[in-house]
Amino acid sequence: MKVETPRDLALRVLNDLSRKPGFSASALDNLFSARPHLEERDRAFISQLVQGSIRWRARLDWTIRQTSDVSLKKISPPVLNLLRLALYQILFLDRVPESAAVNEAVKQSKKGQPPYVVSFVNAVLRNVCRNKTQISFPDRGKTPVDCLSACYSYPEWLVRKWIREWGIDFAEALLEAQNRIPALTVRSNPLKIHRDDLIRRLEDESGIGGKATPYSPQGVHLTDFRGRVDQSKTFQGGLFQVQDEAAQLTSILLSPGAGETVLDLCAGYGGKTTHLAELMGDQGKVIALDRNRTRLVSLATNAARLGIRSAVAVVADASTNLSSLFGVRFDRIVVDAPCSGLGVISKHPDGKWNKKEDDIPRLAQLQKAILISGCSLLRTGGTLLYVTCTLSREENEEVVEACLAGNEEMVLVDLRDRAPLWARDLIDDRGFLRTFPHLHGMDGFFGALLRKK
């Protein structure tokens, strides 16, 4: 039986994603679940190869165009993925010798390709090795969209959009920041441990370095982390939850109180649900609503690990009229609507390629429906936080403005008057939460707080 190398397995994932587009994180999870005996080092290398090849896909393709006489459209997807995989190693991985990347790619091509393809792969890769310092890119001054798209590896429509909305310098800094591999950030569980004590426990028990986040009072950046976080004793004991700092801020801004009844619409795997319960001292009720039953099963398991009893899962579609489902009105509601995810590309590089420009208006309509549904469930005097992990105005300010225009009961709360002092520089001049990866070192999030009169 042929033994598949880590490079073979990485190529398998890329080819599967070419046939059936999805998210590489899920594809990698499926691969590792089917091969539980893979060494941790091999898992890490496979993940790096897959994520890196996806993250830098446009730049890798630009390089192929510069060094090959064959049009990209004429190269079959398996061969194109093979070239991307090898080029990523050659251009971005200092610890992999160029000769090893070329030789392994040639070996891979021999396993299923005719001799002329093997020669083509070898020629392209050796040409890149000889001339990689001479590869030219479009002129930034003359064709800025083409330049930034090729250099930073983003679809042209997104580069054009960000230049139009933010200006070229801001857009370039944002593109560069979202290509960085983010540090793992976790949220300490105050029901079980103080953040400072968690940092000490991580170091003492697992040798994991931790640093307090600059904004969230519960956040910890894990420095030089290797391996699987869910294997640590501190995680299994429910002392922390993996969650980016920007996502942590949203629950804090909603500021739920002990004994309140809170609704988390579109709860997903429950990062915000469990955080809301922690902030309430696990006293009261947090209803986690999502239409995906599998996610809610994971949410319940996670809540039990964290020692949370106040969370209750409900399977339902948040975009429908939910008034008949609940016999109460809620003190606080968080609406974390499905969005284009343009603020979390550093964690999900697939999002660059899986989202299209015409997805944005379609998502905005869905977000408006969910927000209107949420408003109908809020009690008089209650507050609702609308939040997304995207940067497009159509999914953020325009959704909020449409909701306010069609509902006289709802008013906008200026977060500058509500946010803790340490979060004030994250609030814009209209009172919205705005975080940017290149400015704040966290995911790109938007948040708007509404109150029912």
CATH number at residue 12: 1.10.940.10
Same-domain pairing of 383 and 281: yes
Domain that holds residue 302: 245-452
Same-domain pairing of 305 and 401: yes
Same-domain pairing of 80 and 158: no
Catalytic residue among 151, 339, 389, 403: 389
Does 208 reside within a domain?
Answer: no
Strands (DSSP E) contained in 394-444 are: 410-413, 433-435
Same-domain pairing of 407 and 338: yes
At residue 328, the pLDDT reads 87
Does 421 reside within a domain?
Answer: yes
389 is catalytic: yes
Cα–Cα distance measured from residue 160 to residue 452, given in angstroms and rounded to the nearest whole number: 38
Same-domain pairing of 130 and 155: no
Bridge pairing between strands 311-315 and 285-290 = parallel
Instruction: Tell which of 134, 164, 188 closes a domain.
Output: 134
Cα–Cα distance measured from residue 258 to residue 179, given in angstroms and rounded to the nearest whole number: 40
Same-domain pairing of 64 and 169: no
Does 221 reside within a domain?
Answer: no
Does 219 reside within a domain?
Answer: no
Cα–Cα distance measured from residue 401 to residue 408, given in angstroms and rounded to the nearest whole number: 12
Same-domain pairing of 308 and 435: yes
Does 238 reside within a domain?
Answer: no
Cβ neighbours for 80, distance < 8 A, ≥ 6 positions apart: 61, 64, 72
Per residue in 385-394, pLDDT tens?
Answer: 999 999 999 9
At residue 97, the pLDDT reads 95
At residue 121, the pLDDT reads 96
Nearest to 233 by CA among 195, 255, 206: 206
Same-domain pairing of 116 and 149: no
Instruction: Tell which of 103, 134, 165 closes a domain.
Output: 134
- b/e map 126-164, b = 16+ CB within 10 Å: eebbeeeeeeebbeeeeebbbbbbbbbbbbeebbbbbbe
Does 320 reside within a domain?
Answer: yes
Does 329 reside within a domain?
Answer: yes
Ranges under pLDDT 70 in the chain = 1-2
Same-domain pairing of 95 and 153: no
Same-domain pairing of 44 and 81: yes
Instruction: Decide if 76 contacts 5 (C-beta within 8 A).
Output: no
Does 237 reside within a domain?
Answer: no
Number of structural domains found in the chain: 3
Same-domain pairing of 129 and 150: no
At residue 2, the pLDDT reads 67
Instruction: Decide if 452 contacts 380 (C-beta within 8 A).
Output: yes
- The CA R_g of the chain, rounded to the nearest whole Å, is 24
Give the DSSP letter of residue 291: S
Same-domain pairing of 122 and 252: no
